[in-house]
Amino acid sequence: MDQLEKLVASLHLDDIIIREEIPKIDLYVDQVTQLFEGIYAPGKRDEKEKILTKTMINNYAKGDLLFPIKNKRYSKEHIMFIQFIYQLKASLSISDTKTALQNLNDSVVAGGVDLDKLYDQYVELMGKQVEDLTQFLPEINQEAEQVIEAINFEDQDYLRNLFLIFSFVHKSNMYRKLAERLTDQLTETVVENDQQKN
């Protein structure tokens, strides 16, 4: 079990851009990528992995995932949104990510949301979920151990890792599918609201 806990620790899942780390001045795109690289580099799978590129950020802006950029500079609010996109795009399509963030994006433009408070709550929730994973590791490991006891296989370490992979991928797929369905509900709500207005 210690090995699994060390593996989770090596992922740096609790690394996240907290609001106080976001510069108070607007940043150019290169500075935004450096900020994300500085926070997320320790959790990279390998050195070649890109956390965030100028092209990605430009595509988010062109695809209206972000409210308009001024003078090629990104505000603190833009960086918060890029953080949301960074997390969501790991499991959702860009289209679903845009759908999920659209109402919030519109509210920021209209000035109808305290984005600082919302972001702080987001960071707190993400931290709690990392704690939850750490607490459930012994149970997940025990479930894998029970399954492989019934299997006659020479390399038990390999089999244990294989069933842990099966378990984590299955959990990931279940959560992703649930997130996609929730995104579909957001789309349905927008369509219903538009129909009621007409």
According to the 3-state scheme, what is the secondary structure of 122-177?
HHHHHHHHHHHHHHHHHHHHHHHHHHHHCCCCCCHHHHHHHHHHHHHHHHHHHHHH
Of the candidates 92, 60, 83, 86, the one whose C-alpha atom is nearest the C-alpha of residue 184 is: 92
- Give this prediction's pTM: 0.88
Instruction: Express each pLDDT in 118-141 by its tens digit.
Output: 999 999 999 999 999 989 998 998
Instruction: Express each pLDDT in 51-103 by its tens digit.
Output: 999 999 999 999 999 999 999 999 999 999 999 999 999 999 999 999 999 99
